DNA sequence: TTAAACTTTCAATAATTATTGAAAATTTAT
DNA sequence: ATAAATTTTCAATAATTATTGAAAGTTTAA
């Protein structure tokens, strides 16, 4: 497999993985492209390489910046804006975990807490609803605590922890 | 908040969480409904309660069975088929982790391995592609190993491990 | 200030994914 | 074997989500 083929395979695989986990394809592909690029890329570069429109590129770059995994680079003497992504996989994982926790998991935990706290009228179905949502609440909260631990720890915590678990 | 409201809130929240993580809404809602039901439900019951069509219900029940988290129940004297979901959250988490690993993560690991093994022609861009996909390969493999550990361990391993990590 | 270079926005459109509903298939009871 | 009950399939349709492209907006250089 040659460089170009390998690169394309990586980018498109990353794109479809994104799709499976609720992340839009263009967004995942832009991140993948930047991830293996040796230098910052302009919007033109990205449009060209991925064959996507200016608007699409602009919107998805913005989203990636909102997620905190892509940053604008100012290149002296250049009028265009250039972009880079976090190159360190650990930091990347931390950032994604942080955002998914904040945007998606926390709101669900809130609802699970509410639902599992309804008044127990002693009917079987109410007891079941409370019991099951409580169990889910606990599991979700534990998983989320783990993510947050991951987010706030030093650089190598993730690898060390994973190693501890699998050893 | 009354029972019915709480139940609906739980089901629709679970549905939208599913969507965010690439799982279709009806599938997540059916699972949620069964999860808090006190008894097995028929297709009619599910269609009625979630206001979805017969075809949709049938297809999504099948998918949930493929995922191994919903099973058919035979109820003596009844002609219809009835369905239940795994009620234990730990087991549920294990099952989902197992399937997502098998269907989604393993194929990506395979591609990352291929891409990171291309011949190093000593150019900067090839070296970067190899380095970055190798790093991602390692991280993904570790995370997947953790998932598989989770899958194959005893019932309480998940809780214990999470506790160890966050304590 | 002006205008060229560049980026953002957003309504229109396309692509994808989910859902319906009715016909076909299957199962069960007699 | 027959037919009623039930489930599955799948082409058509609807709903959702992603993408385009051009107009509006912004920045920069002279």
Tens of pLDDT, residue by residue over A44-81, are 999 999 999 999 999 999 999 999 999 999 999 999 99
Looking at the structure, do residues B105 and B60 belong to the same domain, yes or no? Answer: no
- Checking if the pLDDT of A17 tops 90, the result is yes
Which residue, B6, B28, B8, B32, is CA-closest to A115?
B6
Looking at the structure, do residues A110 and A37 belong to the same domain, yes or no? Answer: no
Looking at the structure, do residues A63 and A102 belong to the same domain, yes or no? Answer: no
Q: Does B84 touch chain A (CB under 8 A)?
A: no
- pLDDT at position B167, please? 56
pLDDT average, residue stretch A14-38:
96
Looking at the structure, do residues B42 and B73 belong to the same domain, yes or no? Answer: yes
pLDDT per position as a tens digit, A66-125: 999 999 999 999 999 999 999 999 899 989 989 999 999 999 999 999 999 999 999 999
Q: DSSP code of B118?
A: S
pLDDT per position as a tens digit, A145-166: 877 777 676 656 666 666 666 6
Looking at the structure, do residues B81 and B102 belong to the same domain, yes or no? Answer: no
pLDDT average, residue stretch B115-128:
97
Question: Do the beta carbons of residue B26 and residue B56 sit within 8 Å?
Answer: yes
> What percent of chain A has pLDDT above 70?
90
Which positions of strand C lie within 7 Å of protein CB atoms? 5-11, 17-22, 28-29
Which residue, A93, A97, A108, A162, is CA-closest to A138?
A108
Looking from the CA of B96 toward its CB, the CA atoms found within 13 Å total: 14
Looking at the structure, do residues A59 and A133 belong to the same domain, yes or no? Answer: no
Q: Give the list of residues 6+ apart from residue A152 with CB closer than 8 angstroms, or none.
A: none
Q: Does B129 touch chain A (CB under 8 A)?
A: yes
Looking at the structure, do residues B120 and B58 belong to the same domain, yes or no? Answer: no
Which positions of strand D lie within 7 Å of protein CB atoms? 5-11, 17-22, 28-29
Residue B36 CA and nucleotide D14 C1' are separated, in Å, by 30
CA A125 to CA A133: how far, in whole Å? 12
The total of structural domains in chain B comes to 2
Which residue, of B17, B51, B85, is where some domain finishes? B85
- pLDDT at position B149, please? 75
- pLDDT at position B83, please? 98
- pLDDT at position A163, please? 66
Instruction: Determine the structural domain holding residue A156 and report its residue range.
Output: 89-166
Which residue, of A21, A54, A85, is where some domain finishes? A85
Question: Do the beta carbons of residue B30 and residue B60 sit within 8 Å?
Answer: yes
- Checking if the pLDDT of B155 tops 60, the result is no
pLDDT average, residue stretch B94-100:
91
Looking at the structure, do residues B43 and B66 belong to the same domain, yes or no? Answer: yes
From the list A121, A124, A129, the residue facing B7 with the nearest CB is: A129
Looking at the structure, do residues A65 and A47 belong to the same domain, yes or no? Answer: yes
Looking at the structure, do residues B73 and B9 belong to the same domain, yes or no? Answer: yes
- pLDDT at position A166, please? 61
Looking at the structure, do residues A65 and A8 belong to the same domain, yes or no? Answer: yes
Angle at A95 between CA A93 and CA A96, to 5 degrees: 65
Mean pLDDT of chain B: 91
Looking at the structure, do residues A21 and A62 belong to the same domain, yes or no? Answer: yes
Which residue, of A39, A62, A85, is where some domain finishes? A85
Strand order in the sheet with A41-42: A41-42, A82-85, A70-73
Q: What is the CATH number of the domain that holds B73?
A: 1.10.10.10
Task: Please identify which residue in the block is written with the tokens 């190598």.
Answer: A156
């Amino acid at each position: 497999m040659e460089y170009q083929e390998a690169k394309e395979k990586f980018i498109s695989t990353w794109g479809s993985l994104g799709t499976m986990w609720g992340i839009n394809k263009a967004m995942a592909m832009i991140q993948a492209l930047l991830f293996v690029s040796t230098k910052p890329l302009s919007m033109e570069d990205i449009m060209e390489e991925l064959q996507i429109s200016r608007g699409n590129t602009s919107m998805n770059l913005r989203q990636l910046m909102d997620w905190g995994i892509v940053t604008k680079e100012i290149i002296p003497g250049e009028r265009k804006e250039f972009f880079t992504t976090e190159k360190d996989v650990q930091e990347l994982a931390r950032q994604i975990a942080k955002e998914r926790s904040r945007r998606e998991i926390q709101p669900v935990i809130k609802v699970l807490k509410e639902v599992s706290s309804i008044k127990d009228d002693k009917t079987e179905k109410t007891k079941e609803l409370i019991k099951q949502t409580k169990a889910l609440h606990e599991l979700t909260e534990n998983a989320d605590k783990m993510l947050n631990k991951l987010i706030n720890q030093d650089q190598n915590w993730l690898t060390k922890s994973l190693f501890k678990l699998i050893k």
